[in-house]
Amino acid sequence: MNLLHRLSLVVQRSHSLAAILDSTVEIIAEEMEMDVCSIYLLDPADWQLRLMATHGLEKSAVGKVRLGMGKGLTGTVVAEMRSLAVEDASSHPGYLYFPETREERYKSYLGVPMAIRNRPVGAIVVQTMERRAYSQQDIETLASIAAQLVGIVENARIIEALDRGEEGGRYLQEIRSWHAGERARGVEADARVNVQLSGGAASGGIAMGEVALRGDRERGIEPKDAPFQGAEEETRRVRDALQRTQSDIVKIQKDAEREIDEEHALIFSSYLLLLNDEVLLERIERSIESGVTAPIAVFGALEEFKNQLAKVADSYIRDRIEDILDLRGRILAHLLEEKPVSSEVTDRIVVARRTPPSLIIELKAEGGRALVTEVGGVTSHGALLARSMGIPAVTGVQGITSIVRGGDRLIVDGSSGTVVVNPTVETLERYERKARRSDRRHQETLAYCNLPARTADGKRLTLLANIGVAADLGLAKKNGAQGVGLYRTEFSFILREYFPTREEQVRIYRKAYETFPEGPIHFRLLDLGGDKFLPQGTLDASRDPFHGYRSIRVLRDHPEVLRDQVQAFALAAAGRPLSILIPMVSSLEELQEIRAMIDDAIGQLPDRRGRQSPQIGAMIELPAAVEIAGSLAEESDCLSIGTNDLIQYALAVDRESSRLAGTRDPYHPAVLRMIRRTVLLAREQGKPVSVCGEMASRWRLALLLFAMGVDSLSVTPGALPELKQRLATHELGPLESRIDDVLALPGASQIREDISRMYPETNRD
Ligand code: PEP
Ligand code: MG
């Protein structure tokens, strides 16, 4: 064919990619009689399409016009890897025009993708001034040119990349990482469009938006080759970048203080400490004096810090490595004069490896839309914090950080644990409808917030709230909680780089009484270890031992910590009802010992203000505790079943593991029978039982728990409106009368199906 022959001549005669592309657009426009022909190529560094050559559009726009995958007509062609012919481009829903190209003059549009073995490379676009319906022949011609051209383009780019040395290596690496991402999902063929991924439904709500990737690799910032500008100038640059990074962090801190509370702002103190670290600055300056540029000096000095920490096999330390990498990315962004990093999450969906509390705080403070992480379960601390902050989150999405790239668009459905990468218009519309529906439903449920909790057959119920951070209190009150069933006290400790003093704790705990002056407030003793660990190894309750040295076992070795906390509870209560929950009880002796320590702490209070005997609640979180629940009930005033841990220990499923999500089944008959057994044993002692694990917030399970005789449920505050509404519209009696038969069923699926038959979804669901 004449056209292809002319193209092959161009390749023989041209020496650069730009020259090939320039001639190609001229030839296509002439041979196909089009007013415009343009070529866009995908830059793997940021996965944006760049206008590389054009006949017909303004030449000055070449290299400047960039559009994300899925954006505009051309972005759609590449993202969906299909040709698109549109007679009246400006009336197409995906139409997007760049004024600098002056393309608004052209009516009709035809775009075809260029791809190598399903890896998108770019697109060829033709346009005409006159309105025109492109024929099948036009489409096929352009598609066959694209197929021929793509190999030439790619070879030219690889050769140019190799010529550029270091940067070229990076180009190839980006391509490699594209394949790695594709392989990670096993979706070689679908070209990253409308890819559905699933993870843990960590925090409800639907959000849509562009991706902001967190972490060093994801940021893709590496010190670029630049001439050394002299030690004085390079040092000035470093100091300036450190200063600017510090301002960013201080801004996040201020926003956190305003949007959340002063306590949460504390979480960034480790960043500020590092920024002010003399040793770090010395190392950077020393390497600058040896003749390296500012970015390389910063990169190297923090790399050294990182390598030192990497030698320590401790997962808390591993998280500090992530802080270091995050901070390095921020400093380098300033050094390389990219945009301030603190604004990066605003209105975006953040994708990260893990869920450190600092990230959730930053999202909340800076107006991030949602969070998706690669590791972590739905009951991890980060997930609990996301729920408190009302940020939709999906955790444990395998391979997500290598699958998505900056510029991708995501849908996050935190209620079902679904993430859709680069959704099609139809998917987008479906989720928009779903979001509207759930918003409507939520509005309806709000009417139940101020009504007493009761079932359709008139049974009065007690619904309390789980509190983790002060922000939960207001929501709990607003959503109609009757008190605090579980106050997790760990956050105030974890957020600080030091222990809060007794007085600080009093100030924090007092807020609970300000919100619920009549109580009840069930404060839990510090439950560290497992997923709740402290900075700086202050107490040696590290993250790893879910089994072993955690919770009250740690407190037994640190009576002063327990004493301060108990005294703070009592002082905050100031004579009002006080209840203290003891977590992770494994034996009667342990309960007696901790109880004695509590009494002792209260007895040591200097004045009478706080000298009251608190109610004591033993938490049932271990199978061993279920077996001795009768004796534990006798020794305490109430029992509180922590099903998150009970399920973990009964079924041997790490609560953090996303891989085991399916095994972590609250309908498991062993779990349900353990709860029932605990209720019956407590009843013999005349003691009430509460359930405060996450399963209590699911309405069918809540009905099941009440039918088993549980006296109260304590749930995440956001779950209260729907729970109240569901309970109010369903009867408990029929389930109560069959409860023994239900619990006798042999498997989780039989129980789940049985309950679903009794309580089917209505049309409204
Ligand atoms: C539980 O284990 O169910 C519980 C409520 O405690 P936490 O989730 O804080 O461990
Ligand atoms: Mg627990």
Residue spans per domain, the chain? 3-184, 193-213+347-423, 215-344, 456-758
- DSSP for 487-516 reads E--HHHHHHSSSPPPHHHHHHHHHHHHHH-
State which CATH number among 3.30.750.80, 1.10.443.10, 3.30.930.10, 3.20.20.60 fits the domain covering 456-758: 3.20.20.60
User: Which residues lie across from 342 on neighbouring strands?
Assistant: none
Q: What is the pLDDT of residue 36?
A: 96
pLDDT (tens digit, 9 = 90+) per residue, 440-466? 988 888 889 989 999 999 999 999 999
CB 50 within 8 A of CB 90: no
Pocket test for ligand 1, best of 645, 646, 647, 705 (most atoms within 8 A of CB): 645
State which CATH number among 3.40.50.970, 3.40.50.2020, 3.50.30.10, 3.40.1390.30 fits the domain covering 193-213+347-423: 3.50.30.10
What is the average pLDDT score of the chain?
84
Residues with CB under 5 A from ligand 2 (ion): 621, 642, 645
Q: How far apart are CA 568 and CA 554, in angstroms?
A: 19
Query: What are the catalytic residues?
Result: 381, 692
Q: Which atom of ligand 1 is nearest to the CA of 466?
A: 5
Ligand nearest to the CA of 664: 1
Name residues contacting ligand 1 (CB within 6 A). Answer: 379, 486, 488, 527, 621, 642-645, 692-693
| Residue nearest (by alpha carbon) to ligand 1 atom 8 | 644
Q: What is the pLDDT of residue 6?
A: 78
Q: How far apart are CA 542 and CA 314, in angstroms?
A: 8
Ligand 2 geometric centre to CA of 614 (Å): 21
pLDDT (tens digit, 9 = 90+) per residue, 85-132? 999 888 887 788 888 899 888 999 999 998 876 678 899 999 999 998
Question: Please, what is the Cα angle at 319 between 715 and 324, to 5 degrees?
Answer: 135
Which homologous superfamily is 3-184 in? GAF domain (3.30.450.40)
Mean per-residue pLDDT for 228-250? 91
pLDDT (tens digit, 9 = 90+) per residue, 39-61? 999 887 677 899 999 999 999 99
Q: What is the pLDDT of residue 190?
A: 45
pLDDT (tens digit, 9 = 90+) per residue, 353-375? 877 777 888 888 888 999 999 87
Instruction: Give the helix ranges, DSSP H, for 367-456.
Output: 381-389, 400-403, 425-446
Pocket test for ligand 1, best of 385, 469, 486, 493 (most atoms within 8 A of CB): 486
pLDDT (tens digit, 9 = 90+) per residue, 299-352? 888 888 888 777 665 555 565 676 787 788 888 878 876 655 545 788 999 998
Q: How far apart are CA 485 and CA 640, in angstroms?
A: 9
> With 70 as the cut, is the pLDDT of residue 229 above it?
yes
> With 70 as the cut, is the pLDDT of residue 732 above it?
yes
CA distances from 122 to 103, 134, 605 (A): 19, 21, 73
Q: What is the pLDDT of residue 183?
A: 45
Ligand nearest to the CA of 487: 1
Q: What is the pLDDT of residue 341?
A: 54
pLDDT cut 70: percent of the chain above it: 84
Binning pLDDT at 50, 70 and 90, where does residue 184 land? very low
Binning pLDDT at 50, 70 and 90, where does residue 669 land? very high
Q: What is the pLDDT of residue 218?
A: 41
**Sole residue written with tokens 């959704």:** 423
Per the model's pLDDT, the better-predicted residue between 46 and 31 turns out to be 31
Q: How far apart are CA 544 and CA 716, in angstroms?
A: 25
Mean per-residue pLDDT for 148-156? 76
Per the model's pLDDT, the better-predicted residue between 736 and 162 turns out to be 736
Q: Please count the other Cβ atoms lying within 10 Å of the Cβ belonging to residue 622.
A: 19
Q: Look at residues 720, 628, 638, 704 and name the one whose alpha carbon lies nearest to residue 666.
A: 704
Ligand 1 geometric centre to CA of 642 (Å): 5
> With 90 as the cut, is the pLDDT of residue 487 above it?
yes
Was domain 215-344 assigned CATH 3.30.230.80?
A: no
Mean per-residue pLDDT for 612-621? 95
Q: Look at residues 85, 82, 45 and name the one whose alpha carbon lies nearest to residue 66.
A: 45
Q: What is the pLDDT of residue 186?
A: 43
Binning pLDDT at 50, 70 and 90, where does residue 189 land? very low
Q: Look at residues 29, 11, 7, 21 and name the one whose alpha carbon lies nearest to residue 62.
A: 21
Q: What is the pLDDT of residue 537?
A: 45
